Amino acid sequence: MFVKIKGTGSCLPEKVLDNFEISQLVDTNDEWIQSRTGIKSRHIAREETAVSMAAKAAKRALEDAQVAAEEIDFLIVSSVSSEQLLPCTACSVQKEIGAVNAAAFDLNAACSGFIVAYQMAAGQIKAGLSKKALLIGVECLSNIVNWEDRGTCILFGDGAGAAVVSADEDGNIDGRGNIEIPSVLHSDGSRGEVLTCQNPTGKRADGSLKGYVAMDGREIYKFAARQVPVVVKEILEKAGKSVEEVDLFVLHQANRRIVEAIAKRLKQPIEKFPMDMMQNGNMSSASIPVLLDELKKAGKLQPGMKIVVAGFGAGLTWGGMYLEW
């Protein structure tokens, strides 16, 4: 018995903000942004909220999985930018979709959020505490971006991605009869200062409100380019697979340069590393599930494909898992 993704769904805001519009807000231009990040545009919530986007993505994932909302018994929402603290976003989504039998809660692991949610659901299923889980990554990062900071406002977008996961009776069992879930998680709080966002309700000494994302982009690049290849090899060792056997590496969509650096260190062709940050930007918790949904809709995820999913972000946190589609 092994956890398998049964269905996916996503929701992106209607408003598209391209690099030319960004250049009206800060001193930058399309060429500068694309050459450093690979990003051409991003979706920005106007009428949409974290709850409304998460609920739409969830309904689409349930439909894709052919699972009724009432069958879900474990619902997790990963977000760092929801408009509400209480009730938690997950409980509001539960209400919207009618998942009346689900235990629901939020988690905060930033760009690694979907990875953490998957592992929590996998643990519940392995322990026999849950049968079907609904995982959602949703962000309204436009709420916490400083639109006067060229270093951060060019990067982020809003959106939601969801996945239904359940036990797979044909999954991995080791030689001792134990259920194998090839996944890993790591954290290093001593380096958390490289990517921060204070509580928006707090005030600085000068009286101004806190709440904007602040990031040391150079350090994040070095961290991701070094640690993600290591964690990919760690995942594959658990799965008993080689890097050459992997069909796709589905990574957090932070920056094209980071993905290219990871591919180079793993000595794998860039074609194995699908990317959508060009039109979606960095959606933190939503990046991986949205990309999975886009790949599935495009027919690029076929039964039996070997996939490594990996994320990295604030905390610092990083990790991933091995999937067979």
* Predicted pLDDT of residue 209: 46
Q: Is residue 282 annotated as part of the catalytic site, yes or no?
A: yes
252 included as an active-site residue? yes
265 sits in which H/E element: helix 256-266
Instruction: Select which of 140, 197, 252, 280 is catalytic.
Output: 252
pLDDT of residue 172: 52
Of 19, 172, 280, 282, the catalytic one is: 282
Cα separation, 149 vs 204, whole angstroms? 18
| E strand map for 91-193 | 103-107, 132-139, 159-168, 183-187
43 is an active site residue: no
Handedness of CA 55, 131, 107, 65 (dihedral sign): negative
Query: Choosing from 111, 140, 153, 197, which is the catalytic residue?
Result: 111
The token pair that represents 82 in the structure block: 């929801």
Q: What is the pLDDT of residue 1?
A: 45
Over its length of 325 residues, how does the chain's per-residue pLDDT go in tens digits? 478 999 999 999 999 999 999 999 999 999 999 999 999 999 999 999 999 999 999 999 999 999 999 999 999 999 999 988 899 999 999 999 999 999 999 999 999 999 999 999 999 998 889 999 999 999 999 989 999 899 899 999 999 999 999 987 665 544 444 456 899 999 999 999 899 887 765 555 555 445 688 889 899 999 999 999 999 999 999 999 999 999 999 999 999 999 999 999 999 999 999 999 999 999 999 999 999 999 999 999 999 999 999 999 999 999 999 999 9
Q: Which residues contact 297 (CB under 8 A, 6 or more apart)?
A: none
Cis peptide before 87 (omega within 30 of 0): yes
